[in-house]
Amino acid sequence: MTLTIHREEDEQRQLTLKVEVAESRVQQAMKETARKLAKDIRVPGFRQGRAPYNVIVRRFGADALRAEAVEELVPVIFEEVIAEANVAEDMYGQPSLKHMEISPLNLEFVIPLSPIVTLGDYRAIRKEIEPIEIADAAVEEELERIQNQHQKLETVERPAELGDVVTLRGTGVLTPQPQEEVAEEAEVVAEETVAEEEETAVSDAEPTDDETTNDDFDEDLVDEEDDEVIFDEVRRDFLLDSQKVFPGTPFVENLVGLSAGEDTEFSFVFPEDYEEESLVGREITFHLSVIEVKDREVPAIDDELAKLNGRFETLDELREGLRKDLHEQAEQQATDDLAEAFIDDLLVDAAMVYPPAAVELEIDEFVNNFKQQISRSGWDFQDFMRLQAQTEDDLREGFRESADKRLKRRLVMRQMILDEKITIEQEDVDAALEERLSRFGDNEELKIGMREYFTQGQGFEMLSGQILNDKVNGRIRAIVTGTAPDLAVLAAAETVDEDEEE
């Protein structure tokens, strides 16, 4: 036996394997290395590849030969150690070589092991599920959005009227608050920020593109150097509708009657019922220039608008379609919210142990996603980091807390899936595949291509991931409403399936 292995597991699910390698194994490796070297060099007095071992040792030195032999031997020994220690299936991430003594050859490997998670009595969790209702006002708002998509704008040489679109340049500056009000507001904001961070639900698609972009956000709206400037625009269009632009204020009426090229200055106080609470009671002063006035024409909300949408023939069909879309969106949001709240409850009573390497893997994912976002923005990552005066280590530390939170959420969900015996069967895949293919109607060529996509590689992963997600959400709903199948029944069914497979 050429290997002697000592095992030691710590409290963080890290297995240390201390390996003593027999000297005979090292000597044999040195001879094999010497034979390889002899083939590549010429030694005076010997044919190429025929120089004796002791000559090669003198030529390269025993220490150098040993070092090269050990470098080739370590990966081989590692594979043998993993097999002999029987830990391959329990590894979680990449092992590391923590320590090595070259003579005699002693190795110390640290292997992160799979986390251990124990859930509390989550089957006792109950939540009230409110029925989803779509208000008529929401449907009308969607109709108006579609109507606006088909608007026609024409520059006019006249004073602005209600319903026009004006292009503005200028600033809006809040009057400074008394110092005591600022301090009180800062304290409230700080408390809210901490609460939001504690309640943040990080999904498996963790900082994705959606988390770092917002189509409605304008980077010029906020001046980082002076938080009293809430409006700072070089060129921005505004619809002169007092219900939509700074509602409840005289902003729009101060612009009506102005023509292109004219300037204006006005102030007002945000009303008590203003939607943005931080602005309630604050005075603001605008300095604006009108760049352009445009007449706005929108189609009527009728059957012709429905046809413009492309999916419907009548206004009633369009309204019904929009209501259905809104219902599906609300249903999905409610499902996501329920899942996040359920995970919060799981975390309360869960006990878990995981290796530090598990957090590092999560951080790797955060960093890789961040690098992709930077690249898509047209930046070189290293240039961006230099501009921020940060190193990649700084970036990793910045992600550590979020990575740890996300890891815990993933682990409790993974354990819940295991405890609930939730699996994906072939019939699940077949049904989901047929449902997706049915969306392509009679386009057989497209169906063939999509069938191939969804049955292998990334497409299959996406499909199976959605199936599992749907099953998990369904089980969560059943648990919180007290209608979930008995765990004993699920365990018995799993045993029957295993017996049939054997």
In a domain, 143, yes or no: yes
Q: Are residues 159 and 247 in the same domain?
A: yes
In a domain, 434, yes or no: yes
In a domain, 444, yes or no: yes
**pLDDT tens-digit profile of 385-402?**
999 999 999 999 999 999
254: its two tokens:
């101060």
Q: Are residues 489 and 443 in the same domain?
A: yes
CATH number assigned to the domain comprising residue 77: 3.30.70.1050
In a domain, 384, yes or no: no
- Residue 133: what pLDDT? 95
What's the number of domains the chain is made of?
4
The pLDDT-based confidence of 500 (bands split at 50, 70, 90) is low
Q: How much is the average pLDDT of 481-487? A: 93
Q: Are residues 305 and 285 in the same domain?
A: no
Q: Are residues 138 and 98 in the same domain?
A: no
Q: For residue 332, count CB atoms less than 10 angstroms from its CB and return exposed for 0-12, middle for 13-18, buried for 19 or more.
A: exposed
In a domain, 23, yes or no: yes
Q: For residue 45, count CB atoms less than 10 angstroms from its CB and return exposed for 0-12, middle for 13-18, buried for 19 or more.
A: exposed
CA distance 436 to 452: 12
Q: Are residues 209 and 296 in the same domain?
A: yes
**pLDDT tens-digit profile of 64-86?**
999 999 999 999 999 999 999 99
- Residue 204: what pLDDT? 46
* Residue where a domain stops, chosen among 333, 353, 373: 353
Q: How far lies 9's CA from each of 15, 86, 117, 174, in Å?
A: 4, 14, 17, 61
**pLDDT tens-digit profile of 12-31?**
999 999 999 999 999 999 99
Q: Which of 173-177, 185-189, 440-444 has the highest mean pLDDT?
A: 173-177
* Residue where a domain stops, chosen among 260, 281, 300: 300
* Residue where a domain stops, chosen among 114, 140, 163: 114
Q: Which helix (H) or strand (E) holds 5?
A: strand 3-9
Q: Are residues 178 and 190 in the same domain?
A: yes
Q: Are residues 177 and 276 in the same domain?
A: yes
- Residue 224: what pLDDT? 39
Query: Domain range spanning residue 453?
Result: 420-502
Q: How much is the average pLDDT of 322-340? A: 96
Residue 153: which of 168, 162, 166 has the closest Cα?
166
In a domain, 240, yes or no: yes
Three-state SS at 481 = coil
**pLDDT tens-digit profile of 164-176?**
999 999 999 999 8
The pLDDT-based confidence of 494 (bands split at 50, 70, 90) is confident
Q: Are residues 108 and 213 in the same domain?
A: no
In a domain, 478, yes or no: yes
- Residue 205: what pLDDT? 35
| pLDDT at 317 > cutoff 80 | yes
In a domain, 391, yes or no: no
Q: Are residues 96 and 194 in the same domain?
A: no
